[in-house]
Structure 1
Amino acid sequence: MSKLTSDEKLAHGAANGDAEAFATLLGRHYDRVFRLAFRLTGSAEVAEDVTQDICAALPAKIVGFRANSKFTTWLYRVVCNAAHDARRRTASRNRAAIGWGDVEKMRRAEAVEAAEALSWLQRAMQSLPEDLRQTLALTLDEEMTHAQAADVLGVSEGTVSWRLSEARKRLRAIKQEELAQ
């Protein structure tokens, strides 16, 4: 497939069973999917699982792509949903573990996770509400414009701007609190 072929045309081909079109789409967007999953989950291991789950489910999901928006917008929404589902599954497993008296196992897992702590920004992002974290993850490193992020999140561009302002304010407060300690 030509590098000049649009994502939307490739998605249409992939939805109709074109394996080469599907492979080209994956090649173009795999790293983006992983980066966004990593930003949303804060864990490389979970992000890898989420990315692999998306790749496995994408052949069936791509049939639902209607080209009402850019393919990347649709794909980012798929990633946001998959990351949200992964967090819910983890929370459910954690509640079940507590219910079964597996507190020590969870304590050790948390200690290992703390030892493998991510950068300050990644840690701080995890303390933000999901809507702020998703908005920040989509726009970090100029990955998406405010308008593109608004389209993915299904909110107005003004809401994206407000969320980013709110996220910056909360990140500054977290930093000041850490410095005060």
Structure 2
Amino acid sequence: MMLSDETLALAAGRGDRAAYAALLERHYDRIFGLCWRLTGHQADAEDLAQDICASLPLKLRGWRNEARLTTWLYRVAVNAAHDRRRRAASHARAAGGWGDWERGRQADHTAAERDQDWLRGAMGCLPDDLRDTVALILGEGLSQAEAGEVLGIPEGTVAWRMSEVKKRLRAVAQEEAR
């Protein structure tokens, strides 16, 4: 008999290592995939997913089973990504020449890679709330209602954010075309 995520999470929160291992086996790929979409880089996603998994046993102690476990895990991942972005922003302010190096690296890519880099860069210009919304909707395939639940905002706000993302990305592309 297969135990539910909620049963495993409650047991893991009480220190059951086997329950924790079962949860990781079920959800690691989901956590890693969202981390990749939130960071845009495999190495950063691996680090972030590892940090999340390392902190989960303690976090599960506080899980109250008020939302689906997957929704809660998405929220944990989004919060961890926010924390990492804040730290990265502090480091970026200290490292002056990184932008020049990144532009040089992008110049060596093929056309398809350049398109991916452009999208990643354009998404990086978006505020965190818009980027998080896109990662959940397009990257994870969540509905607007599900993304709203993860982000703690109304579904209508999710719809507005997606519209705003499209508008901003079009503006970036038009500006670059000039």
Are 1:145 and 2:137 matched, yes or no? no
1:154 to 152, 155, 163: 152
Alignment length (residue pairs): 172
Aligned position for 2:26: 28
Detail structure 1 runs of 4+ shifted over 4 Å in the superposition.
115-118
Q: Tell me, in whole angstroms, the C-alpha distance in 2 between the residues paired with 1:142 and 1:95.
A: 31
Deviations 1:24-80 (Å, cap 9, x if unpaired)? 111111111112112222222111111110111111111111011111111111111
Q: Per-residue deviation at 1:112?
A: 6.6
Superposed counterparts of 1:72-151, under 5 Å: 72-97=70-95, 103-104=96-97, 106=98, 110-111=102-103, 114=106, 119=116, 120-141=118-139, 143-151=141-149
Q: Alignment partner for residue 51 of structure 1, among 49, 56, 74? A: 49
**Structure 1 stretches lacking a partner, 5+ long:** 98-102
> Post-superposition shift, 1:162?
0.9
Select the residue among 58, 61, 72 that pairs with 1:60: 58
* RMSD over equivalenced CA pairs, Å: 2.2
Tell me which residue corresponds to 1:163.
Answer: 161
Q: How far does the alpha carbon of each residue in 1:130-181 deviate from its partner, in whole angstroms, 9 at most, with x for none?
A: 1111111001156211111111111101111111111122222223334x24
- Aligned AA (1:45): A
The letter of the residue matching 2:58 is: A
Q: What amino acid maps onto 1:110 in structure 2? A: E
User: What is the percent sequence identity of the aligned residues?
Assistant: 54
CA distance in 1, matches of 2:169, 2:103: 24
Q: Does 1:10 align with 2:25?
A: no
What residue identity is the alignment partner of 1:77? R
The answer to whether the 8 Å contact 2:34/2:140 transfers is no
> Quick one: distance in 2 between partners of 1:52 and 1:122?
22
Unaligned runs of 5+ in 2: none
Match of 1:100 in 2: none
